Amino acid sequence: MKPMKVLLSSLAFMILFVAGCKPSGSERTASQPAASSKETFVQVTGKSWKLDRWVGVDGSSQDVGPITMKVDENNRVSGNASVNRYSGTVKFTEAGATDFSSGFISTKMMGLPEAMARETRFFAELRLIRSAGLENGRFVLTGDGSLRLEFAPEKTDAP
């Protein structure tokens, strides 16, 4: 009877391991090719997005605060970084990676220490973004380490 328990325990572990390796529903399959980062930016142009989930490069969950992003037809992005407004141009490398590493400006207002720390981290991690995609109607930026910024469409009062 003891070998049967060991076998069942091993089988249960293998099932859990394989289930953990299975792609989640938001991932694309071979029959549904993912849009490139550049194509994604075309798709999100003209819409306002509000950050509502942020996993830092170190894997820790971050307070999203009032961070927003809007993209225009020239790949210029702008928004609220927590305290200050920002703008800049996203570029794309030859390999197709998203590049937020240069050319960004922001206003220079002071805010509460926690809001200023959030904003400083947002700008630092935005520079580490490498790809963009749309997942279930959400604008998702991913980068180095565990970095993942998920934006939901911003609700507007306009009809």
pLDDT digits (tens, 9 = 90+) for 29-50: 333 335 688 888 889 999 999 9
pLDDT at 121 over 90: yes
Q: What is the pLDDT of residue 10?
A: 43
26: closest CA among 121, 116, 148? Answer: 148
What letter represents residue 40's amino acid?
T
Per-residue pLDDT at 20: 41
pLDDT digits (tens, 9 = 90+) for 3-25: 444 434 443 434 333 334 333 33
Which pLDDT value is given to residue 7? 39
Q: How confident is residue 159, by pLDDT bands cut at 50, 70 and 90? A: low
Domain layout of the chain by residue ranges: 34-153
Distance CA 77, CA 100 (A): 10
Structural contact between residues 103 and 87, judged by C-beta atoms closer than 8 angstroms: no
Highest CATH level, class, for 34-153 = mainly beta
pLDDT of 49 reads: 96
pLDDT in the model for residue 94: 84
DSSP string for the chain? -HHHHHHHHHHHHHHHHHHHHSPPTTS--TTSPPPPHHHHHHHHBT-EEEEEEEE-TTS-B---TT-EEEE-TTSEEEEE-SSSEEEEE-EE-TT--EE-SS--EE------HHHHHHHHHHHHHHTTEEEEEEETTEEEEEESTT-EEEEEEPP-S--
Give the lowest-confidence range in 1-5, 81-85, 95-99.
Answer: 1-5
Confidence (pLDDT) at 114: 96
